[in-house]
Amino acid sequence: MHLAYPAVLSVLLFCTGLYGVLARRNAILVLMSVELMLNAVNLNLVAFDVWLSRAAEETLHSGQALTLFTIAIAAAEIGIGLAIVLAVYRNRGTSDIDKLRDTAEGHEADASAGDAAAAESAAEKAEATA
Amino acid sequence: MTLAAAAATAHATATTTAADAHGFLSPTGVEIAFLLVGLVTFGAAIVTVTTRQLVHAALWLVVTLGGLAVEYLLLTAEFIAWVQVLIYVGSVVVLLLFGLMLTKAPIGRSPDADSGNRWAALTVAVASAAALIWVVVDAFRTTWIDLDGAPAGSTEVTGKALFQNWVLPFEALSVLLLAALVGAIVLSRKAKAAESGTESAPPVPSTRTAKGSDKGGVR
Question: Tell me, what CATH number does A23's domain have?
Answer: 1.10.287.3510
What average pLDDT does the segment B104-129 reach? 84
- As a whole number of angstroms, the distance between CA B122 and CA B106 comes to 25
Residue A93 lies in a domain: yes
Residue B135 lies in a domain: no
Name the domain count of chain B.
2
Give the containing element (helix H, strand E) for B51. Answer: none
Packing angle of the helix pair A62-92, B93-102 (nearest 10 deg): 10
Residues 6 or more apart whose Cβ sits within 8 Å of residue B10: none
Q: How many CB atoms within 10 Å of residue B151?
A: 17
Closest CB from A54, A72, A87 relative to B191 = A87
Q: Residue B197's pLDDT is what?
A: 52
- As a whole number of angstroms, the distance between CA A67 and CA B162 comes to 11
**Average pLDDT of chain A to the nearest whole number:** 83
- As a whole number of angstroms, the distance between CA B40 and CA B36 comes to 6
Q: Is the pLDDT of residue B34 over 60?
A: yes
Give this complex's ipTM: 0.79
Do B96 and B34 have their domain in common? yes
pLDDT digits (tens, 9 = 90+) for B181-217: 999 989 888 555 555 555 444 444 444 444 444 444 4
Contact A111, A104 (CB under 8 A): yes
Closest CA to A68 of B207, B82, B80: B80
Check CB contact under 8 Å for B132 and A14: yes
Do B108 and B171 have their domain in common? no
pLDDT digits (tens, 9 = 90+) for B143-165: 888 888 778 888 888 898 899 98
Residue A118 lies in a domain: no
Dihedral angle of Cα B6, B12, B13, B17, to the nearest 10 degrees: 160
Do B40 and B102 have their domain in common? yes
| Nearest residue of chain B to residue A87 (CA atoms) | B188
Check CB contact under 8 Å for B184 and A86: no
Check CB contact under 8 Å for A43 and B77: no
- HSE-CB for B140 with a 13 A CA cutoff: 19
Asked which of A101-110, B32-41, B88-97, B121-130 is least confident by mean pLDDT, the reply is A101-110
Asked which of A36-50, A111-125, B61-75, B171-185 is least confident by mean pLDDT, the reply is A111-125
* Segment 4-63 of chain A within 8 Å of chain B by CB: 4-9, 11-20, 22-26, 28-29, 31-33, 35-36, 39, 42-43, 46-47, 49-51, 53-55, 59-62
